[in-house]
Each structure stands twice: as C-alpha cells, then as structure tokens.
Structure 1
Amino acid sequence: MRFVTFSTSQLPTPHLGLLRDDEVLDVDLAGRALKQDVPDQMLDLIDNYEHYRPALDALLEKAGKRRFSEVKTYTDIGAVHALSEVELAAPIPRPRKNVICLAVNYSEHAKETAGVREHKGEIPQIPVFFTKATTSVNSPFGTVEIDPSVSTELDWEVELGVIIGKRGKNISEEEALSYVFGYTVLNDMTARDLQSNHKQFFKGKSLDGTCPMGPCIVTADEIPDPQNLGIRLRVNGVTKQDGNTGMMIFSIARSIAILSKGMTLEPGDIIATGTPSGVGFSRKPPEFLKPGDVVESEVEQIGTLRNRIVEAGK
C-alpha cells in the first residue's frame, strides 16, 4: 500500500490517505462508509498496522481493479480526491523523535568528500550516525527557506528513508527488515558552513525545513528488495546525483541491527540511509543552493520530491 498525509480546502487538517495512481482516498471517510475501524493519522496507522490491516484491505477490495473515483460509495461521500488537487504534507509531519541519519554510507560519496573531510576517503568500518531535529521536516513539495545571515552553503543529499514499524532492541540482521513498516524519500539538506564551524553534524543538519520527505510511504511488502532502487537528484533539471541503493556500504538490515544494539527502536522512527556521490560541497568549484533553484529528489518505486528554494522573508 501507499500512504500519504494530505489536506484539502474543505479539510485543512492533515490526515491519512491511500494513494493509488493519481488519486487519494480519504481513509477515515471511506472507513465510515464501509463501517470499518480505520486510522486517521499516519502514526496511529504505523503503531497499530496489524490491527488496521483487515479494514484497509476491505477499502481496497471495495474498489477492486477500478479507480477509486469509479466507486460510487466513495464518490458520494467525497472520499476521493485527485492527487493534483490535494496538498501533501510530509508522511509523518512531526516525528516523535529526531530523524536518525547515516553519514558516508556510499563508497563513492566517501571518496568525493575525502579532500574536505577528515576521514580521507576511507570506507568506515562501523556506521556513522547523527540526527536531524524534528523541526527540520518539510513537505514533499514545500519551499525551503535560505537565510543568508544563518548559512550561505546549503547543500543537497537525496536519501532512501526507512520507517520502523515495530518496537525492537538488539535486532538481528536476519530479522531486521521485518521491523520495517515502509520506505520514503528524503532530502538531507545540509548547511555545510555550519557543519564545518560547529565541528559536528547536528546544527548544520537541523535548520527548519531542511528535511523534505515523501511524497508517500510505500509499505515494505511492495518493495521486497530495498537494496536495488535507483536514487537520483536534480537541481533545475540538471542531474547531480545518480546511484542505486545497492551501493550502500552498510545495508539497511545491517544498519538496523547495529543501531538497535542496546537501543530500542520504536514504530514511527525514521532512518535516513545515506546519500550517493554528487553533493555540492565536494564539487570543484563547490556548488550550493540559491533562491529560485528547484530540487527534485527521486527514489525508484516511491516517488519524487520537488522543493523550491526561497530567501527568508521574501
């Protein structure tokens, strides 16, 4: 299944939708029509997915192979919306915890940053983890503000996002993927000057709005091999990053196993799995985002983020 968090002019509070092709089904309204117990928010869905799964299956079975808009039961109550007519929020608009991220998890990215980072291009022997503040989360098509008094070196990093679906600690690598609820797309935008000045990642990674996410969460059963997905990023239509998740140094399963040692992962936790080569600050000369730029971040089988850069206060 593919889930979104969306709002409309009639229902401005973001709530849960089922995405199929170019249509969004309002889960709450459809559930009422079929007298099914369904969630209205993404975190409730993730927390209780096994409980809600039969009801969600019933919503899909009602449509069968038809479009949602061809089901009179749904259209009569206004439960169907064209994707182009809704506003998408980040699938989890306000995570309960910081977004957990992996640094230098693609070998070519490690090599390209060798001259500007202390690791000298060496492949890490253990994952490097850091976090982004919850307030950095942005919508898949939201604007990203640049405040030149704060940073003048905003960079891009397209990443596959992993959404944890059940509580676990000391998870084995063999069982790790069974703890995944689904996958999404993130752009781990980074203020490189702050990252350098503060000698660590958190501040430079956590400016407001610098973690666009979405456009949906695709459940894990629809992506049986998350280590074989094309991943790319464009700035103003020009491809800057083009890789595959199979190029990760630490697989998703391995990363979850190491992260969960002595540390409990919980439903709704978000893990950003690292970025391929092609970031801006390692280019010669360096390239950074500026007002007017449009950044598109894409992961195969999931979708594309499209974020415009604007100057704060303009």
Structure 2
Amino acid sequence: MKYVSYVKAGKPGFGAVVNDNKVVDLTDKIAGVGSLAELVGSEKSLAEAKAYVANQTPEFGLDAVTLEPVIPQPSKIICIGINYVAHAAEAGRKVGDYPVVFHRFADTLQAANAPLIRPTASHDFDFEAELAVVIGKGGANIKPEDAMSHVAGYTCFNDGSLRDWQFHTHQYGMGKNFRKTGGLGPWMVTADEVDDYRKMEIKGVLNGEVMQEGKLSELAFDIPYLISYVSKALDWNPGDILATGTPSGVGFKRKPPVFLKPGDTFEVVISQVGTLSNTVADEA
C-alpha cells in the first residue's frame, strides 16, 4: 500500500494511493485513528485500512489535494551522515566505529511538489538524496534482529543542506535545519511491499541530470543497526523518520561546486518507492 497525508478543502487528511494517482480517503474512517502517524503505529489499524481500501472506489485524484510531508509532524527526524563509503571518501572522511547522527525539526520539511526554499542567509544550498524509514511500532532498546518489525514503510527524502552553515562548527545542526529545506514524500510504501530494502537503488537528479547514484546494500550501517542504536538513547515513536544517509555526488564536492538555485528541479528516485520532486525558490 501507498499512503499519503494531504490538505483538501482546507482540512488535513490522509489516505491510500491507488494506481499511483487516485486516492481512497481514510480520514475519520478507521476508529481511533486521526492521522497517518497514528495509523502506522497500530498493526490492527493498518490491517483495517487495507481491508477498507480493497472494497472502496477512489474518491478523487492526487491532483485534487495538496500533499503534506508523508508524516506532517514527526516527533523525531533522525539523520545519518557519512553512511556510504564513497560519500565519506568524497567528503574527506572515513566511516567510523559508530554512525554520525544528527537531528532535523519537523518545520524544516516540505512536501512533494512544493518548492524547497533557498534562504537569504546562504546560497550554498546543496542536495542529498536519501531513503527515509517511517517507524511504525515504537520502542526502546530494540535488538537489531527485531528492528525491522518496527518499520512501517519507506519514503524519499532530500536532506537539503546549507553547507557553509553546516561547517560553522563541528556540529551539523544549523546547516541542516533551515526552514522548508528538506523534501519528504510523495508517499510511504508499506514495508510488506518491499521484499528486501537492500535491493533498492537511489538516484539524485538535478534538472534531468543524474548527480547521485547508490544502492541501499552499500550502507555502512544498515537499517536494523541504526534503529537499534538510536533506541538505546531515545524511544522511537510511531511516525518518526530515520534518514539513512546520501550516496556520493553531492554538489559542494564537485569542481566547480553545484548548488541549488531558484528554478531548479531536484528529484529523489528510489526503486520500489517512487520519485520525490521539488522545485527551488528563494526565500521571500
């Protein structure tokens, strides 16, 4: 199943995508479930939603709604840096004994088809194509062998980064947390639709030109390890996002550097998941 969050007629909602362009509305249809984050946190509710969708005719098309980030207000967005060996090499880094972990905030996210905003404070606006994991069942101190049972599904992420701000200090935080710089979407593909995430391939495409390519089998720290590692410090909650890192080819390491500018279109293309597309605009 593919699930989306959206606004329709000024009201937030969520639903299932059928045939990639039609929507079965699930808003107020599943007892006790008011959002996609609440839906993915309950296996019983997910089963009810799947059964409901199977017996419904789609009510409207995707073009009739304004998409939201798949999970509009996740309680946590955990990002992993330097998680592909080739990207570590281009950045002049080595993969360490432990993952590089940093955090984003929910108000930095933009939905599919919405513009990513290049801020007035910096024009060193870079792209990072990533696979994002949507957490379903929450928990703490999760064992790696149990971690995949906590995955609700997968979506596309562009970890838009202001490189000069990122390197103001040894901490990545500020360069990764400008408003409306991170794309998330267009939908979540449920985990049962993916036989093995390691078979996924990822591309970052700028104005039709492939800039980044990688395979999820190339992750230095795999998804079960990352879920387990973070859970030793923080409880995972339903709807939380784990961004797994970006492959090589980012803009600031090119000669000359390539940064996002107004009018650009950047796409994150992930096999078995879909395509996240965002244009770029300047901050008003």
Normalising by structure 1, report the TM-score.
0.86
Residue 112 of structure 2 corresponds to residue 133 of structure 1: no
TM-fit CA distance, 1:103: 0.3
Structure 1 counterpart of 2:60: 81
Over 3 Å counting, the alpha-carbon distance change for 1:53 and 1:312 in structure 2 is: closer
Over 3 Å counting, the alpha-carbon distance change for 1:199 and 1:123 in structure 2 is: closer
Q: Secondary structure at the match of 1:175?
A: helix
Over 3 Å counting, the alpha-carbon distance change for 1:61 and 1:290 in structure 2 is: closer
C-alpha separation in 1, matches of 2:107 and 2:7: 20
TM-fit CA distance, 1:23: 0.6
Q: How many residues align?
A: 283
Residue 166 of structure 2 corresponds to residue 195 of structure 1: yes
Cα RMSD between the aligned structures?
A: 1.6
TM-fit CA distance, 1:208: 0.5
The more displaced of 134-143 and 261-270 is 261-270
Asked whether the equivalents of residues 102 and 272 of structure 1 are also in contact (C-alpha less than 8 Å), the reply is yes
TM-fit CA distance, 1:198: 3.1
Asked whether the equivalents of residues 195 and 205 of structure 1 are also in contact (C-alpha less than 8 Å), the reply is yes
Asked whether the equivalents of residues 27 and 39 of structure 1 are also in contact (C-alpha less than 8 Å), the reply is no
Identity across aligned pairs (percent)? 36
Residue 10 of structure 2 corresponds to residue 12 of structure 1: yes
C-alpha separation in 2, matches of 1:212 and 1:225: 24
Structure 2 counterpart of 1:91: 70
C-alpha separation in 1, matches of 2:226 and 2:258: 30
Moved beyond 6 Å, runs of 4+: none
C-alpha separation in 1, matches of 2:69 and 2:11: 13
Asked whether the equivalents of residues 27 and 40 of structure 1 are also in contact (C-alpha less than 8 Å), the reply is no
Asked whether the equivalents of residues 15 and 25 of structure 2 are also in contact (C-alpha less than 8 Å), the reply is yes
Asked whether the equivalents of residues 136 and 210 of structure 1 are also in contact (C-alpha less than 8 Å), the reply is yes
Q: Secondary structure at the match of 1:227?
A: helix
Q: Secondary structure at the match of 1:14?
A: strand
Residue 283 of structure 2 corresponds to residue 285 of structure 1: no
Residue 49 of structure 2 corresponds to residue 56 of structure 1: yes
Structure 2 counterpart of 1:75: none
Q: Secondary structure at the match of 1:126?
A: coil
C-alpha separation in 2, matches of 1:309 and 1:264: 34
C-alpha separation in 2, matches of 1:61 and 1:205: 40
Question: Paired residue for 1:39, among 16, 22, 33?
Answer: 33
Asked whether the equivalents of residues 154 and 189 of structure 1 are also in contact (C-alpha less than 8 Å), the reply is yes
Asked whether the equivalents of residues 16 and 39 of structure 1 are also in contact (C-alpha less than 8 Å), the reply is no
C-alpha separation in 2, matches of 1:174 and 1:54: 24
Question: Paired residue for 2:246, among 268, 275, 279?
Answer: 275
Normalising by structure 2, report the TM-score.
0.94
- Structure 2, unaligned runs of 5 or more: none
Structure 1 residues 130-209: aligned runs within 5 Å: 130-148=102-120, 150-209=121-180
Q: Which has the larger radius of gyration?
A: 1
Structure 2 counterpart of 1:72: none
| 1:77-103 superposed Cα distances (whole Å, 9 cap, x missing partner) | xxx111233221111112223x10000
TM-fit CA distance, 1:181: 1.1
Q: Secondary structure at the match of 1:275?
A: coil
